[in-house]
């Protein structure tokens, strides 16, 4: 099957595909024959638009290859509502795929629209803003995410990364001196590794 997005480009942590194009990235079927048979089955189901069977395999039988094929079809058709529905049902893989799609396509407004539903979308939004060169806006988003009970710790760590990566050591120092222990730790490491 021809896919819409490339999967062979070097990509960073945020825009590399975790699932799209990832069927048989690892040897999950033991034999080349079994792998080829899986490909044929998935191609047949996709050609028939048989999403019912793909979903059944993906969710009832925990068939990762069927899940990959299902999200590939959704991504290629830009079915973000369907990806979001799977994510809302608790599928973190679908959430990651949705975010990866939006980051890759630089869809900042859509990422912003996901924030009320998925708090951690802010981290992906922040990364997209960094890719656009708007570090200040990214820092604002990460700081907003820091109050989130689940993702706050990660957001703070990402904000410190971003500050140090952009030479804003003074801002990290201010945080460290105001009693921010992660900032103090990071500053210490940064100073130790600075030439
Ligand atoms: Zn397979």
Residue located via tokens 């904000």: 159
Does the structure show a pLDDT above 80 at 194?
Answer: no
Tens of pLDDT along 76-97? 999 999 999 999 999 999 999 9
Domain ranges of the chain: 13-105, 113-195
CA 26 centroid distance within chain: 20
Report whether pLDDT(1) > 80.
Answer: no
pLDDT at 16: 82
Q: Is the pLDDT of residue 11 over 70?
A: no
Taking a 5 Å cut-off on Cβ, the residues next to ion ligand 1 are 38, 65
The contacts of residue 99 (CB under 8 Å, 6+ apart) are 14, 111, 114, 121, 124
pLDDT in tens, 96-133: 999 999 999 999 999 999 999 999 999 999 999 999 99
- Going from the C-alpha of 29 to that of each of 63, 67, 101, the distances in angstroms are 11, 15, 28
pLDDT band at residue 158, thresholds of 50, 70 and 90? very high
Separation of CA 16 and ligand 1 centre (Å): 20
Give residue 59 CA to ligand 1 midpoint distance, Å: 15
At 115 the pLDDT is 97
**C-alpha of residue 120 to centroid of ligand 1, in Å:** 30
């Amino acid at each position: 099957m021809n896919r819409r997005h490339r999967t062979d480009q070097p990509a960073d942590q945020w825009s590399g595909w975790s699932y799209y194009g990832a069927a048989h990235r690892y040897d999950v079927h033991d034999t080349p024959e079994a792998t080829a048979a899986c490909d044929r089955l998935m191609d047949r189901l996709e050609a028939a638009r048989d999403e019912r069977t793909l979903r059944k395999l993906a969710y009832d039988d925990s068939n990762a290859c069927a899940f990959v094929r299902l999200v590939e079809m959704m991504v290629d058709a830009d079915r973000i509502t369907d990806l979001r529905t799977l994510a809302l049902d608790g599928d973190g893989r679908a959430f990651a795929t949705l975010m990866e799609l939006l980051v890759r396509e630089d869809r900042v407004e859509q990422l912003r629209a996901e924030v009320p539903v998925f708090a951690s979308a802010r981290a992906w939004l922040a990364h997209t803003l960094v890719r656009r060169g708007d570090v200040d806006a990214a820092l604002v988003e990460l700081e907003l995410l820091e109050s989130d009970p689940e993702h706050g710790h990660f957001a703070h760590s990402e904000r410190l990364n971003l500050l140090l990566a952009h030479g804003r050591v003074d801002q990290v120092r201010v945080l460290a001196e105001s009693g921010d222990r992660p900032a103090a730790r990071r500053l210490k490491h940064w100073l130790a590794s600075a030439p």
